[in-house]
A = this chain, B = another copy of it.
Amino acid sequence: MNSDASRRRDVTVADVARAAQVSKAQAARALGNYGAVSDDVRERVLAAAEELDYRPNELARSMNTGKSHTIGVVVGDIENPHFGLATRGITDTAKRSGFNVILINTDEDTAAEIDAVRVLLDKRVDGLIVAPASSVETHHLRRVHESGRPLVLLDRKAPGLDVHTVAVDMEGISHDSTTYLINSGHRRIAFISTLRTDGPYRDGMPLDSSQISDRRDGMKRAFVEADLELPDDLIRLNAGDAESIKKITRELLQRPDPATAIIASDGLIGLSVVEAIQELDLSIPQDVSFLMYDDFAWTRLTTPPLTVIAQPVYDMGVAAAEALIRQIEGRKMPAADPEFMAELIRRGSVAAPKAIDVDH
């Protein structure tokens, strides 16, 4: 419709060069501002570019430089504020260094992750940040790394893969918070996670996610140190949507030997657990203690406010992006992966368990 801007071919350096009466090379140099250009030429070129409304084709540029100034980010679920915040840390940092971000969601599905990585590689991103769905199926990640493309892992580790990883010390915080519960008098401590496994939890079962695996190990160590046994029957994996989480919560609380404390593996799960508890007309922490990973702002608003495990998610996003960009730009990497520390924030959802029911 429009008079001139409409259906016309994009204007290229050649057009600008012609208008400025210089060679394509000189125009390109002035525009890309590299090489040697006289003030006179630069001026004319810039003026012509302005006049013609020239915009560089970054694709073409990337083709010969080999750099796309784009990094790929692969996460399980942006909808989860945990990743939302981390992504924010990444994009803020990327922008600051002149990088753009292509974001791909995997729904925590390894097949989707493999595909995402391939797509990103095909698009010639300069580097990748991946929150791997599995700490075991990492062949695709190993290939990225071996091909020489910078790669940084976020949130989850991949044992055996020598890649810079930004994650918190999960074993430690899990141990500490479990100990806290034990010291508060709890023995029947439940743990709910969405991690998908074949069949229910069994002692010593290998867990695909380093995150969950480490948490299990931390819990176990806490119990062992207290000369107690980790109640395997209260470790509930394969939680899915809200309804399934509520169902699990009900089971945990309505069995003969109910859980007296529940640990939710993330904020989304925690939400449904708390809701289920409320629906059962039980109160926190009188009837059941509650603890969850992720310090979402709303946890301060419930009655009582929730005791949570805070992770420096934004900072981790920043750190991941910084490490990646450092790698891309060929600068030295820090000697070792700095471990980020999670923190137990004691608010009001943990108390001593009720006096034991002496049914029998």
Max chain B Cβ within 10 angstroms of own Cβ: one of A56, A123, A303: A123
Max chain B Cβ within 10 angstroms of own Cβ: one of A5, A78, A95: A78
A58 and B91 contact, Cβ closer than 8 Å, known pairs A101-B102, A275-B301, A302-B301: no
What 0/1 readout, one digit per residue, does chain A (117-134) give for beta carbons within 8 Å of chain B? 011011110000000000
Asked if B84 and A100 sit within 8 Å, CB to CB, the answer is no
A68 and B78 contact, Cβ closer than 8 Å, known pairs A148-B6, A275-B300: no
Binds B, one of A59-67, A150-158, A224-232: A59-67
A104: chain B residues within 8 A (beta carbon): 91, 95, 100-101
Contact of A84 among B68, B78, B271 (CB under 8 A): B78
Contact of A81 among B7, B79, B105, B124 (CB under 8 A): B79
**For the complex, what is the distance from the CA of A102 to the CA of B112, rounded to whole Å?**
18
Asked if A146 and B58 sit within 8 Å, CB to CB, the answer is no
CB of A297 closer than 8 Å to a CB of B: yes
CB of A202 closer than 8 Å to a CB of B: no
A5 and B62 contact, Cβ closer than 8 Å, known pairs A104-B100, A122-B57: no
By size class, the interface of chain A is 35 or more
Asked if B6 and A124 sit within 8 Å, CB to CB, the answer is no
CB of A147 closer than 8 Å to a CB of B: yes
Q: For chain A residues 98-117, which have a beta carbon within 8 Å of chain B?
A: 100-105
Asked if A87 and B91 sit within 8 Å, CB to CB, the answer is no
User: What's the least CB distance linking A65 to chain B, in Å?
Assistant: 11
Closest chain B residue, CB of each to CB of A68: B59
User: What's the least CB distance linking A254 to chain B, in Å?
Assistant: 21
A124 and B271 contact, Cβ closer than 8 Å, known pairs A91-B104, A105-B88, A303-B302: no
List the interface of chain A (C-beta within 8 A of B): 2, 5-7, 55-60, 62-63, 68, 70, 77-81, 84-85, 87-88, 91-92, 95, 100-105, 118-119, 121-124, 143, 146-148, 271, 274-275, 278, 296-298, 300-303
With A57-B124, A58-B122, A91-B105 already in contact, 12 other A-B pairs whose C-beta atoms are closer than 8 Å: A2-B146, A55-B122, A57-B122, A58-B124, A70-B123, A79-B88, A100-B119, A100-B123, A101-B103, A101-B104, A275-B300, A296-B298
Question: Can you sample 17 A-B contacts with CB below 8 Å?
Answer: A5-B143, A6-B147, A55-B118, A58-B122, A60-B63, A63-B63, A70-B102, A70-B123, A81-B81, A81-B84, A84-B84, A88-B105, A92-B105, A101-B104, A271-B301, A298-B298, A303-B303
